[in-house]
Amino acid sequence: MQVEQNVVFGMGGGRDLSCDIYRPATPNGAGMLLLHAGSWRRGDKTSMAGQAGMLTAEGYTCVASEYRLVPESPWPAQLHDVKAALRWFRAHAASLQVETDQIGVLGNSAGGHLGLMLAGTPGVAAFAGEGGHGEMAEHIAALVAFYPATLLYVDEPCPGGIPADGLFTEPPTEAEVRAACPMTYACPEFPPTFMLHGTADEMVPWMASLRMYEALMAQGAPVELHLQAGRPHAYATRDPEIIEPAMAEAVGFLKRFL
């Protein structure tokens, strides 16, 4: 595996945005955009190095993207940035030895939310941003989301939901909240999706993934949900003994579509 760090992929908020590229020894022609966790307010792309290593071992070329964080950059800056990273990835697919229609996404927690939003909103102008390569398509071929947020609420809690103030810097309207929820975009064209969640998740209820799974199933979209009894939030990425089998399940899914 070869690693190239801090490669500029676009602009956001008047500054450069960068990514880390992980190149496999033997590319399989598919790529994965990796999106880090951190409740939209912390974390960085370097935390994806371990999962990138596991994916490159299977031949996937990986791009771990930064995105601007809340509250310095209000929503939807985060989605603007990861869409810019996806478009950059597609624009540079040939040099990265990736087919343009073989790019998937893996996201953890907040990164899983952003991955689901990427999957559900290709071509939505309000979320495109101006990060660069606006001529490139925004569709993805497959998605892996570990313990993702899928539902937000303002006043009345809902099953599987988390408070919207984690993402928003100002009180949002109901319409703004719905627009930031991946559940809103479940449709037959949604790309193949793999979700993993622990049933003792203390930050994002496991019902978040279950409800997303049910919404996608109802639309006839290809989806898998793997629940782990008694596991807390971020359990797979915290425990090296668990991350390998969890990633093996995800890779098994990806190989059916990428």
Please choose, from the candidates 86, 110, 109, 111, the residue with its C-alpha nearest in 3D space to the C-alpha of residue 31. 86
Q: In this predicted structure, what is the pLDDT of residue 238?
A: 83
Question: Tens of pLDDT along 106-119?
Answer: 999 999 999 999 99
Q: In 10 A of CB 242, how many CB atoms?
A: 15
Work out the burial of residue 114: count CB atoms within 10 Å of its CB; fewer than 13 is exposed, 13-18 middle, 19 or more buried.
buried
Q: In this predicted structure, what is the pLDDT of residue 217?
A: 99
Q: In this predicted structure, what is the pLDDT of residue 240?
A: 81
Q: In this predicted structure, what is the pLDDT of residue 237?
A: 87
What are 253's two structure tokens?
């899914």
What are 57's two structure tokens?
């071992």
Sequence-distant (6+) residues with CB within 8 A of 17 are 8, 9, 10, 11, 65, 66, 67, 68, 81, 84, 85, 131
- List of the chain residues with pLDDT < 50: none
Domain that holds residue 244: 2-254
Domains contained in the chain, number: 1
Q: What is the residue type of 236?
A: A
Question: Tens of pLDDT along 21-79?
Answer: 999 999 999 999 999 999 999 999 999 999 999 999 999 999 999 999 999 999 999 99
CATH number assigned to the domain comprising residue 165: 3.40.50.1820
Q: In this predicted structure, what is the pLDDT of residue 209?
A: 99
Q: In this predicted structure, what is the pLDDT of residue 175?
A: 97
